[in-house]
Amino acid sequence: MSDEKKKNLPPEAQEYQDFQSKREVKRPILKNCIKAFLVGGFICFIGQIITTFYIYFFHFTEKTAGNPTTATLIFITMLLTGFGFYDRIGQFSGAGSAVPVTGFGNAVISAAIEYRTEGFILGVGGNMLKLAGPVIVYGVFAAFVIALIKTILIQWGGL
Partner 1 sequence: MIFFWAFLIGGLICVIGQIMFDVFKLSPAHTLTILVVSGAILDGFGLYEPLIDFAGAGATVPITSFGNSLVHGAMQEAEQHGIIGVVTGMFEVTSAGISAAIIFGVVGALIFKPKG
Task: Give the one residue of 17, 53, 74, 126 binding partner 1; rule: CB under 8 A.
Answer: 74
By CB under 8 A, tell whether 9 contacts partner 1: no
User: Per rule CB under 8 A, is residue 73 in the interface with partner 1?
Assistant: yes
Cα–Cα distance, 157 to 147 (Å, whole number): 14
* Of positions 23, 124, 126, 157, contacts partner 1 by CB under 8 A: 124
Does residue number 119 form part of the binding site for partner 1 (CB under 8 A)? no
Q: Which helix (H) or strand (E) holds 101?
A: helix 101-114
Q: How many residues bind partner 1 (CB under 8 A)?
A: 81
- Asked if 58 touches partner 1 (CB under 8 A), the answer is no
Contact call for residues 128 and 119 (beta carbons, < 8 A): no
99 contacts partner 1 (rule: CB under 8 A): yes
Best CA proximity match to 110, nearest among 95, 98, 121: 98
Q: How far is the CB of 75 from partner 1 (least distance, A)?
A: 6
Residues 13/24, Cβ–Cβ less than 8 Å? no
Which one of residues 42, 57, 89, 158 is an interface residue with partner 1 (CB under 8 A)? 42
Please give the Cα distance from 126 to 78 (Å, whole number).
Answer: 19
